[in-house]
């Protein structure tokens, strides 16, 4: 994957549609477009054995989120609260916005 366009953005609410965490809902924290993966808050947790360091004086076993394939995530529309495919619409001023395919409303999260 080479900097692929994605149907989700940071801060979107998404549902996992495949894999061990199927059905769980969370907020997108980070997206890696190059690898086609996203990190979702409190989903796909893994354990990491860490040495004590400046950031983590204790060391030990920490839980952290692992990236998921973007294809396994589906956007939850903020208006109709359903999982939906994402379409794109060009506005009068030439900018594009993402729309919910179920209700037709914009799914852009106000920044």
Answer positive or negative: Cα dihedral of 65, 8, 35, 71.
Answer: positive
**Domains along the sequence of the chain with CATH:** 13-50+57-100 (2.30.30.30)
pLDDT (tens digit, 9 = 90+) per residue, 59-100?
899 999 999 999 999 999 999 999 999 999 999 999 999 999
CB-CB contact of 44 with 64 (8 Å): no
**Backbone φ and ψ of 105, nearest 5°:** -85, 160
State mean pLDDT over 1-27. Answer: 92
Report DSSP state, residue 8.
-
Residue 111 confidence (pLDDT) above 70: no
Q: What is the rounded distance in angstroms from the CA atom of residue 92 to the CA atom of residue 107?
A: 17
pLDDT of residue 104: 93
pLDDT (tens digit, 9 = 90+) per residue, 45-67?
999 999 999 988 888 999 999 99
**How open is the CA angle 36-41-42, to the nearest 5 degrees?**
115
Confidence band of 1 (pLDDT split at 50, 70, 90): low
């Amino acid at each position: 994957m080479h900097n692929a366009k994605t149907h989700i953005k940071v801060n979107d609410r998404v549902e996992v549609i495949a894999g061990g965490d199927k059905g769980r809902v969370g907020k997108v924290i980070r997206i890696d477009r190059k690898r086609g993966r996203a990190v979702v808050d409190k989903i796909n947790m893994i354990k990491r054995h860490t040495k004590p360091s400046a950031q983590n004086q204790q060391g030990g076993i920490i839980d952290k989120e692992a990236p998921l394939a973007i294809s396994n995530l589906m956007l939850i529309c903020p208006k109709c609260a359903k999982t939906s495919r994402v379409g794109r619409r060009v506005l009068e001023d030439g900018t594009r916005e993402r729309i919910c395919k179920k209700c037709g409303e914009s799914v852009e999260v106000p920044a």
